[in-house]
Amino acid sequence: MRITALVLAAGAALAGCGVAGADGDSITRKDALVVGVNADQPGLGLRTGGTYSGFDVDVARQIARRLGVTTVTFKPITSATRESVLRSGAVDMVVASYSITPERKTKVIFGGPYYVAHQDILVRKDESGIRNVRDLKGRRLCEVPGSVSFPRVTRERGVAAVSVRADTYGACLAKLRSGELDAVSTDDLILAGLAAQAARDGGAPLRIVGAPISDEPYGVGLNSADIDGCEAVNKAITTMYQDGTAARLLRTWFGPVGLRATTTVPQFEGCD
């Protein structure tokens, strides 16, 4: 009987080995995904009623579809919560203009980037005096408290722009159109999203200058244990660019405002 017990134990040990090391929480093994997105970013992630729309939202849907996921639920997140919700498992994936940085990489793992945005400048279409960041000297530039974009121009680039405060980039846009300020500078996709919405609402046409002063690799945030998920997301992004879907989405959301979007696959961060 002792021997029978031993054999049983051996059998159990061997059977147990089959699942050892498997990560049951990987997004590659799920049929339904909860995706964290922005709820207030026109063109990227915007909630109207109960539905979400924008480039980030469409990218998340594409990735989910290519992972074989059947149900996608969106959840609004903010820059303050995106790491904690990933770690707690409240969301499976974050697609929310989430720039990959070395510090963030110590907390979560990033698939992608699915797009490399750049800080750029938005002006009224008839503005001819602003061709790069240095031309912002002495001009009225929107400053949103808490955003790194304004200090990047003034402190890091040493360009003495005049601050005009606004609470959100949406408010900046309104002031730009009414002539209360001369330029808005932040990620080009955010600017293009705002400008596209403004164009739909009618009003003074706007233009993106096209003088990038930063690289903002937008990554797909995942729980740091999900290396398989990260690799699968990279594969999904690769095919998304190869079959022209990415180019189509960029055209849909940012085409009308003259953003010269990059339609080739970005350099991935790597999953290890």
- Binder among 49, 50, 102, 202 for other proteins (CB under 8 A): 102
Residue 238 sits in the site that holds other proteins (CB under 8 A): yes
Kindly give the residue spans of alpha helices, DSSP state H, lying in the chain.
2-17, 55-66, 82-88, 102-105, 149-151, 169-178, 188-201, 227-242, 245-254
Distance between CA atoms of 226 and 232, rounded to whole angstroms? 10
Residue 235 sits in the site that holds other proteins (CB under 8 A): yes
Indicate the pairing of strand 51-53 with strand 119-124: unpaired
Distance between CA atoms of 6 and 171, rounded to whole angstroms? 72
Residue 3 sits in the site that holds other proteins (CB under 8 A): yes
Residue 224 sits in the site that holds other proteins (CB under 8 A): no
Residue 250 sits in the site that holds other proteins (CB under 8 A): no
- Binder among 155, 160, 203, 204 for other proteins (CB under 8 A): 155
- Binder among 65, 75, 137, 152 for other proteins (CB under 8 A): 152
Show the CA angle centred on residue 54, arms to residues 36 and 37, nearest 5°: 10
CA distances from 271 to 63, 119, 182 (A): 16, 26, 42
Q: Which is nearer to other proteins, 53 or 238 (CB)?
A: 238
What's the min distance (Å) between Cβ of 239 and other proteins? 5
Residue 213 sits in the site that holds other proteins (CB under 8 A): yes
- Binder among 48, 51, 128, 264 for other proteins (CB under 8 A): 264
> Residues of 229-240 as b/e, b for ≥16 C-beta within 10 angstroms?
bbbbbbebbeeb
Joined tokens for residue 243? 């079959």
Distance between CA atoms of 92 and 268, rounded to whole angstroms? 20
Joined tokens for residue 230? 């990260």
- Stretch binding other proteins (CB under 8 A), from 13-21, 27-35, 75-83, 89-97: 13-21
Q: Which is nearer to other proteins, 87 or 155 (CB)?
A: 155
Give contact residues for other proteins (rule: CB under 8 A).
1-3, 6-7, 9-10, 13-14, 17, 20-21, 102-103, 105-106, 132-134, 151-152, 155-158, 211-215, 227, 231, 234-235, 238-239, 242, 262, 264-268, 270-272
